[in-house]
């Protein structure tokens, strides 16, 4: 029930019998059973699954209670959480490929942050001076951003972005309260499709860019490859 884990399990060769409609990578014929916050429970039960894979940030509690299936649930809030979660899942499933990725995640977790502007798909307006704060924007009407105590926030720090220190995980923000000369707005490609709905962003007056949201938020094998390619680019 977690797109990040669905992709990772399929690539590891694990038999996945059900997925959410948001589990779009890799393309497959695996049965869709609803979303990450809702599902078709009779369809879930009809699949004969041995294990229900959840994440505490992405899935509501009722999913772990209502199915009667054995449950494995992760709680991913930082880059450092992924390696231990993958290691545990590899033991539950007896999957060596997951164990290999767990070891690689452990190396990424202790690697030095990099510099530059990784993950940017397209610039809207480049900064003219020093960027002292980055606001990673995930929604519009109202504007919503991510805080540092999230997986996305952790990836931003690991890739050298000075992420703004919000106290909430996903705050509603007033952009007029930020300095336009030193604040960079990063508009994520998901969950709000900023790449397709960019009208009016130039008029905000900030330097801004569009980033691949999947690279920053899909915490399985996809974010691993993004971080490895970024952190070890000069090796």
Same domain membership, residue 211 and residue 179: yes
Q: What is the CATH number of the domain that holds 129?
A: 3.40.50.1980
- Give the tens place of pLDDT for each residue, 129-184: 999 999 999 999 999 999 999 999 999 999 999 999 999 999 999 999 999 999 99
Range of the domain at 184: 120-231
Q: Is residue 212 part of a domain?
A: yes
Same domain membership, residue 197 and residue 146: yes
Q: Is residue 115 part of a domain?
A: no
Single residue among 78, 110, 142 that ends a domain in this structure: 110
Instruction: Please write down the HEC assignment for all residues of 130-182.
Output: CCCEEEEEEECCCCEECCCCCHHHHHHHHCCCCECCCCCCCCECCHHHCCCCC
Same domain membership, residue 77 and residue 155: no
> Is residue 202 predicted with pLDDT exceeding 80?
yes
Same domain membership, residue 17 and residue 99: yes
Single residue among 77, 110, 143 that ends a domain in this structure: 110
If one counts the domains in the chain, the total is: 2
Q: Is this structure's pTM higher than 0.85?
A: yes
């Amino acid at each position: 029930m977690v797109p990040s884990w669905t992709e990772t399990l399929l690539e590891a060769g694990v038999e996945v019998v059900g997925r959410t409609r948001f589990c779009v990578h890799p393309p497959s014929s695996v049965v869709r059973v609803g979303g990450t916050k809702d599902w078709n429970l009779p369809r879930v039960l009809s699949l004969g699954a041995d294990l229900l894979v959840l994440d505490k940030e992405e899935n509501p509690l009722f999913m772990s209670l209502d199915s009667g299936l054995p449950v494995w649930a992760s709680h991913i809030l930082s880059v450092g959480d992924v390696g231990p979660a993958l290691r545990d899942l590899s033991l539950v499933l007896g999957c060596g490929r997951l164990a290999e990725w767990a070891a690689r995640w452990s190396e990424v977790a202790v690697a030095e942050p990099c510099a530059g502007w990784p993950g940017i798909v397209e610039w809207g307006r480049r900064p003219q001076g020093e960027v002292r704060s980055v606001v990673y924007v995930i929604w519009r009407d109202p504007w919503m951003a991510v805080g540092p105590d999230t997986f996305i926030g952790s990836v931003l720090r690991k890739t050298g972005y000075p992420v703004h220190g919000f106290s909430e995980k996903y705050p509603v923000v007033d952009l007029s309260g930020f300095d336009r000369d030193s604040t960079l707005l990063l508009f994520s490609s998901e969950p709000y499709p900023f790449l397709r709905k960019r009208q009016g962003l130039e008029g905000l007056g900030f330097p801004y860019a569009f980033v691949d949201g999947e690279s920053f938020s899909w915490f399985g094998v996809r974010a691993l490859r993004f971080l490895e390619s970024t952190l070890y680019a000069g090796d």
